[in-house]
Structure 1
Amino acid sequence: MKRISLVLLATFILLCVAGVYLYYSMYAHELPPGIASGNGRIEATEVDVATKAPGRVLDVLAEEGDFVKKGQIVGHMDVAETEAALRAAEAQAAQARKARDEASHVIEQRKGELELATKELERQETLVAKGFATQQKVDQYRTTRITAMAALAAGESSKAAAEAAIRAADAEVDRLKRMVDDGTLVATVTGRVIYRLAEPGEVLGAGGKVLTLLDLSNVYMTIFLPAADAGLLALGSEARLVLEPLPNRAVPANVSFVSARAQFTPKQVETQNERDRMMFRVKLRVPQILVDHYLEHVKTGVTGVGYVRLNPNVQWPSWLQSDLVEQAKAGNKPGEPGPAGGDVKQDREVVQ
């Protein structure tokens, strides 16, 4: 009887423990009115580093998984032919400038000839009026003046043509310089290399992709909410993200986008009410100060749950409160104690 009593007591204790566990699993994280939730995953925009003109890849300076900063050189294209064409265009521009200078000298010469012919014509016309010269002489100097005027006009035309040639040559030089500069591949965003799509020696066409970067300047989670909840949301509203790898910590976020149109519920989204067939897409963006602070540890694809506060007067439950932003503002590094004495190493795992 004593053994049976012990067994019954142990069974009762196990049932109590199981009941408590079940209660906390079902109700401890129950959401208060004014807070909605949806499943999602951490996402960021993918940006391709691609060639502007066709050519051969000279080198690629980044590997998959590398962290690169905006403006960092990540590769080069073979631009030897373009550099040769650039030198030829620069020579043509120099030649056009010499032609313009030569035309300017010719114009000065023609102006002097025209001035002399004009004075001689006036002198002969005065002499004819006094009877000391013949009309033939006047006609001769008049023809000389007309010839000088035509020569001056031709010189000005030559100078205009030389200036046009200079502008064309300079434009070609600028175009080729940009092509040479475009041969240096740079990261347009700060992020992580997720795909290396080309190797040295490969010949790519215009727009050929060399690397794909994950833009970490805009990290967010996409969730779907029914119209009743989405209609109460305002841009900038506070949100929280609870990620699967660390369910006991909440990552602060803000509502950055609410779709203007409803759509069918995606298959991967589970709704509490099967009648909510039409859902609104909502983006919950992680604050940039938090992303920058843990930039080298940010990863996408992590699943979790996003929570939004429909009523700004509703307080977050204790399990959704977070001090990660305060830790980032304080400049605490991973492994250092946070403002509340916590370990930032644990917070780093949230961002991961």
Structure 2
Amino acid sequence: MDESDAAPLVPGRIVELRVQEGDTVRAGDTLALLTQGTISAAYAERRARLAAARARLADLERGSRSAELERAEADLAALEAEATRAAADLARAERLAQDKVIAAQELDRARAAAQAAARRRDAARATLALAREGSRRDQVQVARAEVATAEAQLAAAASDVDELAVLAGVDGVVLGRHADPGEVVAAGTPLATIGAVARPWVRVYLPAKLLATLPAGSAAEVRLAAAAGSPEGAPLPGRLGAVRPTAEFTPRAALTEEERADLLFAVRVELPHPGGTLRPGLPVTVRFPGATP
């Protein structure tokens, strides 16, 4: 039968190996689970990043809250009062300076204070206007792009997490288990071998003269070797499949040139309807009804 190895795509430590030799599995079944700190940490980080990006977008789409507007209005009122006082102080300082009551330095200080207060008032007005307008469209677009990027990064991290699970690629039987929980394995290390029991085949060796009389797809009869004293069962239908292109010598020692001329070819006899009676390694007898002696 065809065999395939189940191996992880990423390195890691085996946490769980769920199969034993002889177990029947279906394609897609989880055979083993691995863990790797880097992959798990990256997934947690990207999930948190996506949550933060979504929260920021929701806040921008919701716009300014009433409490923020009230605070901006209160700040502006206080700064307007401060700017009014500073302007009044500057007007008084200008009169006193004109009457030579105060020095020019004091007038300069009053003028600088009035200008600074006016700038703070203007900044507060802009802040209040922005709060009343809500989030700008370009800010929302940037936030949406950040969410999309975070979603893509999380999807990539989730794909890495999925690769920590080793799945069966075909329906079949576990022929071998090659690792145990707790082992650290590299990517591509076989953890189990699966035999595709739904597509069994038999390898037989045919002499060149006999093979020449059998076209591809020729019918074959396959019988399980019966136990001593037991009757033979009904033959299983098969067909001639792939033929190995390179000839082989006879299995026994070929001592003479004449014996070396007796070449064999390895052929594959496929059984499309095995009936669930075949197992790997069982001895069988193969007969080709259409073969010409």
CA contact (8 A) 1:103 1:159 kept: no
CA contact (8 A) 2:247 2:263 kept: yes
Structure 1 match to 2:281 = 301
Structure 2 match to 1:198 = 179
Q: Secondary structure at the match of 1:309?
A: coil
CA contact (8 A) 1:239 1:309 kept: yes
User: What per-residue deviation string (whole Å, max 9, x for no partner) do you get for residues 292-348 of structure 1?
Assistant: xx4xxx32112333212336xx9xxxxxxxxxxxxxxxxxxxxxxxxxxxxxxxxxx
CA contact (8 A) 1:50 1:208 kept: yes
CA contact (8 A) 1:78 1:183 kept: yes
Structure with more strand by fraction: 1
Deviates more, 1:175-184 or 1:261-270: 261-270
Q: Does 1:258 align with 2:215?
A: no
| Shift in alpha-carbon separation, 1:228–1:51, aligned structure 2, 3 A | same
CA contact (8 A) 2:198 2:274 kept: no
TM-score by length of 1: 0.50
CA contact (8 A) 1:255 1:285 kept: yes
Q: Secondary structure at the match of 1:91?
A: helix
Structure 1 match to 2:204 = 223
Letter in 1 for 2:29: Q
CA contact (8 A) 1:65 1:194 kept: yes
User: What are the ranges of 5 or more consecutive residues in structure 2 without an aligned counterpart?
Assistant: 64-135
TM-score by length of 2: 0.59
| Shift in alpha-carbon separation, 1:306–1:95, aligned structure 2, 3 A | same
Structure 1 match to 2:29 = 72
Q: Which has the larger radius of gyration?
A: 2
Letter in 2 for 1:285: E
Which of 259, 263, 286 is matched with 1:278 structurally? 263
Q: CA deviation at 1:54?
A: 0.9
CA contact (8 A) 2:8 2:165 kept: no
| Shift in alpha-carbon separation, 1:275–1:89, aligned structure 2, 3 A | same
CA contact (8 A) 1:229 1:310 kept: no
Q: CA deviation at 1:220?
A: 0.9
User: What are the ranges of 5 or more consecutive residues in structure 1 without an aligned counterpart?
Assistant: 1-43, 107-153, 315-352
Q: Secondary structure at the match of 2:153?
A: helix
Structure 2 match to 1:40 = none
User: Partners in 2 of 1:226 and 1:166 — Cα distance?
Assistant: 69
User: What per-residue deviation string (whole Å, max 9, x for no partner) do you get for residues 261-319 of structure 1?
Assistant: 2422352699xx9465433332112233513xx4xxx32112333212336xx9xxxxx
Which of 52, 61, 64 is matched with 2:18 structurally? 61
Structure 2 match to 1:45 = 2
